[in-house]
Structure 1
Amino acid sequence: MKIRAYAKVNLTLDVTGRREDGLHTLDTVMQSVSLWDEIELTPGGLPGIRVQCSRDYIPVDNGNTAYRAAQYFFRKTGLKDEGLSIVIHKRIPSRAGMGGGSTDAAAVLRALNSIYGANLPMETLRELATRVGADVPFCLQGGTCRCTGIGEILEPVTELPNCFFVICKPPAGMSTLRAYALLDQYPMSRKYGTPRMVEALEKGGLPKIAQCLQNRFEETLRLVQVRDIKKALLGAGAMGAVMTGSGSAVYGVFDTEAAARNAAQLLTDKGKVYVTRPLRSGEIH
């Protein structure tokens, strides 16, 4: 079975606290986008879970999110693991804040539930997803959602209107652990970004929504390449621009595909550039 695992961007990202276990609590609006990894799953063959990936620096053992998702699935269902091959063809950039590993894990959970006819309900799949990583439950559901807790508590919100994103991933990356370590040097977010975005989605049009883009990490990491890309996107006509996740990819919002593709041509010297559109939750399944 071949499946697509779709990337995400954060329309907003507030960091609201830190739990006793060290994990940070968030209030964020996430959005699925039409950039994907392709994953091929083949049951059978040699015993055990085998992972291959088109990027050789990505682990293929239990350090891989897709591997762990398969492990949790087999443990939960009690199905005998008689062999499973997972081949991941990466297109989503790494260390970008776009959920590449999380969406691979979510796609594997959905696919295995279908392949083995396990019929696990969405609530159970979300429980397994949370064990793998904080963004995996959102990637499992997709669409436009407000996410709280460590990111695992999902609340559907008004969907983003039709538009286009120009995403630019600069050469510099940022690990999530490093980003949070830097963030801890500053006070937590004032709780304004996400509530404003939810209201804009409900009542405002695309220009208002674009004005409400916000990311706490962008304020604290202060990456030069992020600043330059954001400036270039706005100069190319973006209605708004912001870094996604813990970085380092930056995206701009455009109302037409033509405008987005014209802008993309102006950013090719700043990193890898992608033109995407937002996806509804039903489009990822």
Structure 2
Amino acid sequence: MEIKAYAKINLTLDISGKRADGYHNIESVMQSISLADTLEIRENNLGKIYLSSNVASLPTDESNTAFKAAKLFYEYTEIKNRYVDIRLDKQIPDKAGMGGGSSDAAAVLWAMNEIYKTNLTMPELFRLGAKIGADVPFCLAGGTCHCRGIGEKIARVDPMPACFLLICKPPAGVSTPRAYAMVDKLLFSAPTGTPKMITALKGGNLQHVSAALSNRFDEVLFLPQVQNIKKVMRTGGALNAMMTGSGSAVYGIFEDLEHARSCAQDLHGYGDLFLAKPINV
């Protein structure tokens, strides 16, 4: 079975507090985009889960989220002596805040549920996914969603209006644990950006949606490369630009492809560039 694992962006990301278990409570509007990894998953007779990738530096052992998902699926369903071969074609940049590893795990869980006809419900898949990563439940749901808790509480909201997204992933980045550690030094606040975004999405106006972008990590980390990219995007015709997740990828929202491509030329040398669209899957 071949399946696409779609990247995500955070239209908003509020952090309201730290839990006793060490996780953080968030409120976020997440959006699937057309940039995707491709996974080919099939049963094998090798006596083990086997993972390979087009990226030589990518771990292919139990530290990989796709591998973790396959192992967890077998444990949960109690399927014995069955194994899969996973071929992963990576296109989503690493350490970007775009859910690359989470989307791969979600794709494996969904595909294996289909392959083995285990009929796991979406809430069951959400619970399994949350054991791998906070973004996995959203990557299973896809589309445009309001995500709460650690990210496992999912509710669909009105879709993002059609547009073009220019994404720039600069070389610099901050690990997610370090990003949260920096947030922990500040006072937590009630989520404000997310309710505004949900209201903006109801109106279906791209300019209003663009104006409602927010990200607590962007505010706290204030990475110089990120700020420079945002400035170039806005000067180059983006309705707005924002870092996604804990970074360091930045996306700009454009009404037309011509301006997005022109801005990509302006960003040459700033980092890896991608063009995408919001999608509902």
Q: Normalising by the residue count of structure 2, what TM-score does the alignment of the two structures yield?
A: 0.97
Percent identical among aligned pairs is 49
Contact 2:61 2:67 in 1 (8 A): yes
Alpha-carbon spacing, 1:82–1:191, altered in 2? closer, same or farther (3 Å): closer
Contact 2:65 2:101 in 1 (8 A): yes
Q: Which amino acid aligns with 1:210?
A: S
Deviation at 1:190, TM superposition (A): 4.1
Q: Which runs of 4+ in 1 moved over 3 A?
A: none
Contact 1:69 1:109 in 2 (8 A): yes
Deviation at 1:68, TM superposition (A): 1.1
For residues 82 and 201 of structure 2, the distance between their equivalents in structure 1, rounded to whole angstroms, comes to 47
Aligned-partner SS, 2:131 = helix
Contact 2:160 2:204 in 1 (8 A): no
Deviation at 1:204, TM superposition (A): 5.1
Contact 2:161 2:204 in 1 (8 A): no
Contact 1:47 1:84 in 2 (8 A): no
Deviation at 1:42, TM superposition (A): 2.3
Name the residue aligned to 1:14: 14
Q: Which amino acid aligns with 2:201?
A: L
Name the residue aligned to 1:92: 92
Alpha-carbon displacement from aligned partner over 1:157-215 (angstroms, at most 9, x marks no partner): 11111111100000112211111112211122442110110111112511011001000
For residues 50 and 175 of structure 1, the distance between their equivalents in structure 2, rounded to whole angstroms, comes to 27
Aligned-partner SS, 2:29 = strand
Q: What is the 5 A alignment of 1:210-225?
A: 210-225=210-225
Name the residue aligned to 2:135: 135
Q: Answer with 83-92 or 238-247: which moved more.
A: 83-92
Name the residue aligned to 1:29: 29
Q: Answer with 120-129 or 157-166: which moved more.
A: 120-129
For residues 223 and 150 of structure 1, the distance between their equivalents in structure 2, rounded to whole angstroms, comes to 24
Q: Which amino acid aligns with 1:93?
A: P
For residues 42 and 170 of structure 1, the distance between their equivalents in structure 2, rounded to whole angstroms, comes to 35
Q: How many residues get paired?
A: 281
For residues 82 and 156 of structure 1, the distance between their equivalents in structure 2, rounded to whole angstroms, comes to 35
Alpha-carbon displacement from aligned partner over 1:214-259 (angstroms, at most 9, x marks no partner): 0000011110100000000001000011000000000010112222
Name the residue aligned to 2:79: 79
For residues 190 and 76 of structure 2, the distance between their equivalents in structure 1, rounded to whole angstroms, comes to 39
Tell me, yes or no, if structure 1 residue 192 matches structure 2 residue 192.
yes
Aligned-partner SS, 1:214 = coil
Alpha-carbon displacement from aligned partner over 1:110-166 (angstroms, at most 9, x marks no partner): 111111122212121111111111100000010000000001100111111111110
For residues 165 and 104 of structure 1, the distance between their equivalents in structure 2, rounded to whole angstroms, comes to 21
Name the residue aligned to 1:170: 170
Q: Which amino acid aligns with 2:259?
A: A
Q: Which amino acid aligns with 2:159?
A: E
Q: Which amino acid aligns with 1:152?
A: E
Q: Root-mean-square deviation (CA), in Å?
A: 1.2
Q: Which amino acid aligns with 1:182?
A: M
Deviation at 1:56, TM superposition (A): 3.3
Aligned-partner SS, 1:80 = coil
5+ residue gaps, structure 2: none
Q: Answer with 54-63 or 82-91: which moved more.
A: 54-63
Name the residue aligned to 2:3: 3
Q: Which amino acid aligns with 2:76?
A: K
Q: Answer with 181-190 or 222-231: which moved more.
A: 181-190
Alpha-carbon displacement from aligned partner over 1:46-94 (angstroms, at most 9, x marks no partner): 1111212333333222211111111111112222242211121111000
